[in-house]
Amino acid sequence: MTAKTLTPLSHGSPHHCFGCGETNKSGLRLKFFVDDDQQVVSTVRLARRFEGPPGHAHGGIIATLLDEAMSKANRQHGIVAMTRQMEIDYLRPVPLQTPLTLTARRTAHQGRQNHCEAEIANASGTILARSKALFIAIDRSLIERLEKTEAR
> Where exactly are the structural domains of the chain?
7-151
For the stretch 90-139, pLDDT in tens is 999 999 999 999 999 999 999 999 999 999 999 999 999 999 999 999 98
SS3 state of residue 151: helix
Report the alpha-carbon distance of residue 63 to residue 43 in Å, rounded. 15
CB-CB contact of 61 with 52 (8 Å): yes
pLDDT tens digits along 22-73: 766 766 767 888 988 889 999 999 999 999 999 999 999 999 999 999 999 9
Contact 98, 122 (CB under 8 A): yes
Rounded-to-integer distance, Cα 121 and Cα 69, Å: 13
- The pTM assigned to this predicted structure is 0.86
Domain 7-151 CATH (choose: 1.10.10.10, 2.60.40.3710, 3.10.129.10, 3.40.50.1470):
3.10.129.10
The count of residues in the chain is 152
Q: Which of 26, 96, 98 is nearest to 62 (CA)?
A: 96
